[in-house]
Amino acid sequence: MSERPRKKRVTLTTLGCKVNQFESAAFLTGLNEREVELVPFSQPAEVYIINTCAVTARAAQQSRQMIRRALRTNPEARLVVTGCYAQIAAQDILDIVDQPLCIVGNGYKDRLVEIALAEQHCDLEMFMGDIGRRREICPLTVRKFGERTRAYLKIQDGCNNFCTYCVVPFARGRSRSLSPDRVIDQARIFAAEGYREIVVTGIHTGIYGQDLEPATDLAALLKRLVAECPVRYRVSSLEPGEISEELLEMLAAGDLLLPHLHIPLQSGDDHILERMHRRYQSADFAELIGRIKTRVPDAAIGVDVMAGFPGEDEVAFRHTYELLAGLPVTYLHVFPYSKRPGTVAARMSGQVPKEVKAVRVAALRELDQEKRREFYASQLGRIRPVLSERGRARRAGLQGFTDNYVPVTFAASPRLVNQVVRVRLERLCEDGVAGTLVEK
């Protein structure tokens, strides 16, 4: 009796955002449907797939490191590089690789599994094209989202903003939306697979549907999702001008659209916002936060903020710090400005020294910790729904996030993992809140 042929060993690693993670989950779905053996990236494989990121200089550096690591592990392997770094820096990849190589641009990710497993290949294959001319989103389907309790659902790709510091429009192209029916189909797959919470995400999520025929919007899509596939939903980052009254009404009224918003500010100085090509002023942002808190008092509000953008002097930084210190936001995602080749900001005068950026980043991250503790303390004594997850090693009980994104640990049976339970928030602890399970 002849032995069955050994399966091809394939490995995948992902850098970057929720959209990249969704796309890699789609690759894994396709690979699981083929006769391959999926192995960890640290192990030798015959095919290495690297889904890269380019949003910062560090992300680009990490992408190059993963490419070199794959080549060291098995110089004879088929190397497939995709993602934003592959899209905008293909020549840089060619400069560090002298083995056979396949580069798959963001516009061809729906073909990646087929390309990666092709029997015939040559020393250099490039599936690129002009991403700026793409008018339809790549159709990708995900069955499983790894070991995560919540799944990410990509509804949109690309960005039309062209902020002066950002490479994303060059790496992802213009905004393209997934049809509502396909969004619903993907949500139903996740629900059938047992996911109790879905994070609705995109590159520029807030302009979802403007490119479709007939046109629609994010609020209309969320209404359909909640009605037709009733699990919990969070919405990823939304620009300040894209949080409508209709969306706030849904957050205030329902228990399936969770009271949690993430809103990029980037700077609290109006001159810097103008240099960034952001389309609001600091007063607009402050008014929005006040309106959210009036409509949804317990909402968690996360904020992206950048330190050290060209031209940011001490006065401009102080405007940012004081604005955030005075607003009832929940947490900050703090980034030092990263000069990206090809962007307008990279050519601007007034580049801020690295050591100055580091000091400002540290101050904002300290403010972030203060904001978190303040918000967590405001929730003590409340009973809130929590999607339960397994606790960390050597820690008894379960953990999870409340509907309004408070990290909580509590004693409970492992049988309750991936169930939405009610927890009373009782005391602050090192990494969030300790609570007690409330029986139904």
Point out the domain boundary residue: 351, 378, 405.
378
Cβ neighbours of residue 116 closer than 8 Å, sequence gap 6 or more: 10, 47, 49, 78, 80, 102
Asked whether residue 17 falls in the same domain as residue 125, the answer is yes
What is the sign, positive or negative, of the torsion defined by CA atoms of 55, 164, 161, 404?
positive
Query: What integer pLDDT is reported at residue 3 of this predicted model?
Result: 56
Distance CA 27, CA 9 (A): 14
Rounded Cα distance between 83 and 54, Å, is 8
Report which residue type is found at 327: L
Q: What is the CATH number of the domain that holds 69?
A: 3.40.50.12160
Q: Which two tokens stand for residue 359?
A: 């000091």
Cα separation, 23 vs 158, whole angstroms = 14
Rounded average pLDDT over 379-403? 88
Cβ atoms within 10 Å of 219's Cβ, excluding its own = 19
pLDDT of residue 430: 87
233: three-class secondary structure by DSSP: strand
Say if residues 437 and 415 touch (Cβ distance below 8 Å): no
- The number of domains in the chain is 4
- How far is C-alpha 423 from the geometric centre of its chain's CA atoms? 27
- As a whole-number percent, the residues of the chain with pLDDT over 70 amount to 98
First to last CA, the chain: 58
More confident residue, 255 or 341: 341
Residue 62 has pLDDT above 70, yes or no: yes
Can you tell me which residue has the tokens 């429009």? 169
Q: What is residue 1's predicted lDDT score, i.e. its pLDDT? A: 47
- State whether 324 and 354 are in the same domain: yes
pLDDT tens sequence across 162-217 = 999 999 999 999 999 999 999 999 999 999 999 999 999 999 999 999 999 999 99
**Last residue within a domain, chosen from 80, 109, 129:** 129
For residues 314 and 349, state if they share a domain: yes
Whether pTM exceeds 0.95: no
Position 17 in a domain: yes
What's residue 133's pLDDT? 87
Residue 184's CB is within 10 A of a number of other CB atoms, namely 17
Tokens of 211: 């490119």
Please name the residue that has the structure tokens 């919007």.
217
Name the residue range of residue 317's domain. 263-277+287-378
Considering the domain architecture, whether residues 75 and 172 belong to the same structural domain is answered as no
Q: Are residues 359 and 426 in the same domain?
A: no
138 and 232 together in one domain? yes
Q: Which of 333, 349, 378 is the last residue of a domain?
A: 378
Average pLDDT over residues 377-399: 87
Same-domain status, 196 and 138: yes
pLDDT at residue 391, as a whole number: 78
One domain for residues 204 and 299: no
Specify whether 327 is located in the same domain as 351: yes
Taking residues 307-314, report their average pLDDT.
98
Q: Would you list the DSSP string of 355-369? A: HHHHHHHHHHHHHHH
Phi–psi pair at 298, nearest 5 degrees: -95, 10
Per the structure block, which two tokens stand in for 346?
């990279």
Sheet order of strands, 78-83 included: 36-38, 8-14, 47-52, 78-83, 101-104, 124-127
Does 256 reside within a domain? no
- Interatomic CA distance for residues 134 and 106, integer angstroms: 10
Q: Provide the β-strand partners of residue 299.
A: none
Is 254 part of a structural domain of the chain? no
Predicted pLDDT of residue 5: 63
Whole-angstrom Cα distance, residue 218 to residue 222? 6
- Residue 333 belongs to a domain with what CATH number? 3.30.750.200
Judge whether 430 lies within some domain. Answer: yes
Assign 100 a pLDDT band (cuts: 50, 70, 90): confident
Evaluate whether residue 33 is within a structural domain: yes
pLDDT score for 395:
58
Q: Is the pLDDT of residue 251 over 50?
A: yes
Asked if residue 252 belongs to a domain, the reply is no
Mean pLDDT for the chain overall: 94
Res. 254: pLDDT tops 80: no
Mean pLDDT of 253-264: 93
197 within some domain: yes
* Phi and psi angles of residue 387, each rounded to the nearest 5 degrees, phi first: -85, 110
Q: Are residues 154 and 196 in the same domain?
A: yes
Average of per-residue pLDDT across 262-289: 98
Q: Is 417 helix (H, G, I), strand (E, B) or coil?
A: coil
- Residues 363 and 398 reside in one and the same domain: no
Strands, DSSP E only, in 210-325? 232-235, 260-266, 300-307
Q: Give the C-alpha distances (Å, rounded to integers) separating 191 from 15, 20, 185, 228.
A: 26, 21, 10, 11
Percent with pLDDT over 90 in the chain: 88
Residue 214, preceding peptide bond in cis (omega within 30° of 0): yes
Residues 49 and 94 in one domain: yes
Whether the predicted pLDDT of 439 surpasses 90 = no
Can you tell me the mean pLDDT for 326-350? 96
- The answer to whether residue 253 sits within a structural domain is no
Q: Which residue has the tokens 């580091």?
A: 358
Helices (H), 33-154: 57-73, 84-88, 90-96, 112-116
159 exposure class (CB count in 10 Å sphere: 0-12, 13-18, 19+): buried
The CATH number of whichever domain residue 194 belongs to comes to 3.30.750.210
Query: What is the rounded distance in angstroms from the CA atom of residue 91 to the CA atom of residue 288?
Result: 43
How many of the other CB atoms lie within 10 Å of CB of 147? 7
Angstrom distances, CA of residue 242 to CA of 48, 158, 218, 254, 261: 39, 16, 9, 19, 11
Note the pLDDT of residue 13.
96
The per-residue pLDDT for 396 is: 64
pLDDT tens for each residue of 1-41:
445 667 899 999 999 999 999 999 999 999 999 989 999 99
Q: Is 426 helix (H, G, I), strand (E, B) or coil?
A: strand
Angstrom distance (rounded) from CA 105 to CA 138: 11
Q: At 122, list the tokens.
A: 């040559």
